[in-house]
Structures are given as C-alpha cells and as structure tokens.
C-alpha cells in the first residue's frame, strides 16, 4: 500500500505533533493539541490522516480499554509491542521473539493459517507509583 499522498499544511502539522509526543493519544486529544498549538485543523481531517498514516505504517494504533483508539509514532517501523503506564501513558517498545514463535507454532498446531496476534502490556511506572 505504498501511497502517494499530497502534502498539506494539516498533514504536516499532524506528523509533527505526532513526532513530538511519547504517549499514545486519541484523535480528539491530538486535535485539541493541534488547535491549542495554533494549527487550525478539522476533526475529520485528523481522523482521516491518522488512519492513512496507520495504513502506511507511519503510526501505531492501539485500542484502549474504553474502546478509544490511540495513536503514536513509534521508533521502529517493524512489528513490536508496548509496555504502557496506566498512570502517565509513558510507553516502552518491546520485542517478543518468543511470543512470535509461540503464536505461530500454536496456530499451525491447530491447523490455523494466516496467524496474527495482538499483545499489549500495561502497568504503573516507577514515577507513578
């Protein structure tokens, strides 16, 4: 899905806003932050661009417990997981080769193909406890 997207002021502002944050944030939070930072942008545009960026692999998205989707520009463009503080949102990227192998093997063992998985870890970071 390599896409040629037009460069707009809004898209640039969104990418910059993402780049400067270490936390996962919802579309609405990001929208408010952009507004506060003096970059007027429509909410629908935030949603659209976040989805495009996610589809293009530029940002990660996770679904919070309450069902809201949160976005973050992660350092690695490759498959990884997250350890997220439930207090402050501080996020640490994790790789879990054992889990990758484990899920693949279990899928195969049960005759499943095209095996995917989701894995997220949460806790309270040192500063927050």
Partner DNA sequence: GCGTTAGTGATAATCGTTTTCATGTTACTC
Partner DNA sequence: GAGTAACATGAAAACGATTATCACTAACGC
Residues 5-44, mask of contacts with DNA (x by CB under 7 A): xxxxxxx--------------xxx-----------xxxxx
Residue 45 or 103: the one with the smaller Cβ distance to a second copy is 103
Stretch that binds a second copy, among 1-9, 14-22, 48-56, 95-103 (CB under 8 A): 95-103
Contacts of 70 by beta carbon, 8 Å cutoff, 6+ apart: 24, 25, 26, 61, 62, 63, 64
What is the rounded distance in angstroms from the CA atom of residue 118 to the CA atom of residue 97? 13
Which of 79, 87, 102, 120 is in the footprint of Zn ion by CB under 5 A?
Answer: 87
Residue 12 or 119: the one with the smaller Cβ distance to a second copy is 119
Structure tokens at 74: 């992660």
Which of 27, 70, 85, 91 is in the footprint of Zn ion by CB under 5 A?
Answer: 85
Contacts of 87 by beta carbon, 8 Å cutoff, 6+ apart: 124, 125, 128, 129
What is the rounded distance in angstroms from the CA atom of residue 66 to the CA atom of residue 114? 28
Q: Which residues bind a second copy (CB under 8 A)?
A: 63, 67, 69, 83, 85-86, 92, 94, 96, 98-99, 102-103, 106-107, 110-126, 129
């Amino acid at each position: 899905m390599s896409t040629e997207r037009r460069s707009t002021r809004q898209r640039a502002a969104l990418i910059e806003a993402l780049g400067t944050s270490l936390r996962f944030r919802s579309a609405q939070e990001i929208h408010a932050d952009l507004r506060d930072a003096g970059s007027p942008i429509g909410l629908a545009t935030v949603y659209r661009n976040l989805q495009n960026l996610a589809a293009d692999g530029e940002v990660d998205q996770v679904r919070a417990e309450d069902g809201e989707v949160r976005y973050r520009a992660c350092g690695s463009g490759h498959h990884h997981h997250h350890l997220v503080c439930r207090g402050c949102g501080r996020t640490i990227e994790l790789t879990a080769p054992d889990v990758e192998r484990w899920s693949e093997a279990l899928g195969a063992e049960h005759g499943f193909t095209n095996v995917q998985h989701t894995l997220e870890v949460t806790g309270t970071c040192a500063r927050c406890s």
